[in-house]
Chains A and B, each alone.
Chain A
Amino acid sequence: DVVMTQTPVSLSVSLGGQVSISCRSSQSLVHNNGNTYLSWYLQKPGQSPQLLIYKVSNRFSGISDRFSGSGSGTDFTLKISRVEPDDLGVYYCGQGTQYPLTFGSGTKLEIK
């Protein structure tokens, strides 16, 4: 199974600031078809997870350009710029390159 390791476990940021979350996979996430199926999700308090980024760097419909994803192979990063109050919650990375699908353990973002 592909193990997804997220860091940090939690972080606190001031409104308007910028944060980065790291996600590393135990195996390359490059699929045989050449795509890399690495996604980022945000789970706001009391809500279902929502997709932010898919295939490493593609913003999902309606997602602000303050969210950006990057990386390749086994190392990936989510950056959030100009942090807003609505950004708080737990961020998960997830891989869809091979079964079983797996997720990181989450990064809790708090607003100072």
Chain B
Amino acid sequence: EVKLVEYGGGLVQPGASLRLSCEASGFTFSDFYMEWIRQAPGKGLEWIASSRNKANDYSTVYSASVKDRFTISRDTYKRILYLQMNTLKPEDTAIYYCVSERRHWGQGVMVTVSS
């Protein structure tokens, strides 16, 4: 059974940094594309970052809204996907979902950016 468990969210001030983690199990982590997708309160879904699989050298892609501020990475030994978020803005407030191959979704973790 594929399982994705996110953690690391919380309340931070504008300009702060935060790192989200997603523990993956039930599948071959290195074989799968992994994504972070977020959902602002009461809003729709917004893709923000992808980490391609090992066959594609774990290359990364970012949305324009987070490029140069967020970094997606993975520790294949620990089977953890990360999202390092820097220079956070109030508009980054959202539930952040870890997603594998655009198929399996974690339960999400809330990030609130507010002073």
Q: Check A49–B102 contact: CB distance below 8 A.
A: no
Residues A48 and B107 in contact, CB atoms below 8 Å apart: yes
Which B residues touch A100, using CB under 8 A? 47, 61, 63-64
| Residues of chain B contacted by A94 (CB below 8 angstroms) | 45, 102
Q: What secondary structure prevails in chain B residues at the interface with A? A: strand
B14 at the interface (CB under 8 A from A): no
Q: Count of chain B residues with Cβ under 8 Å from any Cβ of A?
A: 18
Do A48 and B64 touch (CB < 8 A)?
no
Chain A hits for B103, CB < 8 A? 51, 54, 60
The reply to whether the CB of B97 lies closer than 8 angstroms to some CB of chain A is: yes
Shortest distance from the beta carbon of A54 to any chain B beta carbon, whole Å? 7
A54 to B103, CA, bound (A): 8
Q: Known contacts A39-B102, A48-B107; can you find 9 more A-B pairs with CB under 8 A?
A: A51-B102, A51-B104, A60-B103, A96-B102, A100-B61, A100-B64, A101-B47, A101-B102, A105-B44
Task: Please list the residues of chain B having a beta carbon within 8 angstroms of any beta carbon in chain A.
Answer: 35, 37, 44-47, 50, 61, 63-64, 97, 102-108
